[in-house]
Amino acid sequence: MLAKAVATECGTTFFNISSSTLTSEYRGESEKLVRLLFEMARFYAPTTIFIDKIDSICSRRGTAEEHEASRRVKAELLVQVDGVGGASENDDPSKMVMVLAATNFPWDIDEALRRRLEKRIYIPLPSATGREELLRINLRELEVADDVDVKKIAEQMEGHSGADITNGCRDASMMAMRRRIQGPTPEEIRNISRDELQIPTTMEDFGMALKKVSKSVSAASAAELEKYEKWIAEFGSY
């Protein structure tokens, strides 16, 4: 979502690529896929290429798990990233190709790729203010009752990720619909008009929804956050 927002803000064509998209069981095909991706990006420039879970295709070289096919893919990716980097102010903005990547394991990324990705930014769990803003964004298209206290909901969702907040809002809206269809027979439910289903979501709906939305970041994971902070302190670049 963040990468797409960047592409939209920059007015570029967006390529959303998962690491599995660039891998093939056939010899030499993975390198061709990487090359084709960047050729298409140049053709449709200005573009933004977003590669999720970049560590799965560009982990550290020289490890026991590395094999020849993996080395070839890394080499091709490094060549292609080199080819779109180093743009100067005199370059034509309409030919720009920007590469964004995401990983949950930044310490596993190959050092050569890390150097080529000039900006390295840590995205932590949302703060109280961030959670409140995410709630307002998710509730923008939803009719809510007057008793809904966004600030209080944000406080209750401490430690939740952005995806958790989105899921919580969706579940709360479904609670309101379930209230409406409780009691009537299946035939009566089929005859309910769309307008009748537009029931405001209440604070009680949010309370019930939050009981069902678990934190996607466990207590064990939270203890590991220090590892991310240490990495970004050493290698971060904003």
| SS3 readout for 168-225 | HHHHHHHHHHHHHHCCCCHHHHHCCCCHHHCCCECHHHHHHHHHHCCCCCCHHHHHCH
pLDDT score for 63: 64
Task: Report if pTM > 0.75.
Answer: no
pLDDT at 154: 94
Tell me the two tokens of residue 192. 């309910």
What's the confidence (pLDDT) of residue 89?
A: 42
Q: Where are the domains of the chain?
A: 2-116, 128-215
Helices (H) and strands (E) in the chain, counts: 11, 3
Report the pLDDT value the prediction gives residue 65, as an integer from 0 to 100. Answer: 62
The pLDDT assigned to 90 comes to 45
Q: Please give the CATH topology (third level) of the domain spanning 2-116.
A: Rossmann fold (3.40.50)
Q: Which CATH number applies to 128-215: 1.10.8.60, 3.40.50.720, 3.30.1490.100, 2.40.50.100?
A: 1.10.8.60
- Residues in the chain with pLDDT values less than 70: 1, 25, 61-69, 85-91, 180, 183-184, 188-189, 192-197, 218-223
What pLDDT was estimated at residue 20? 79
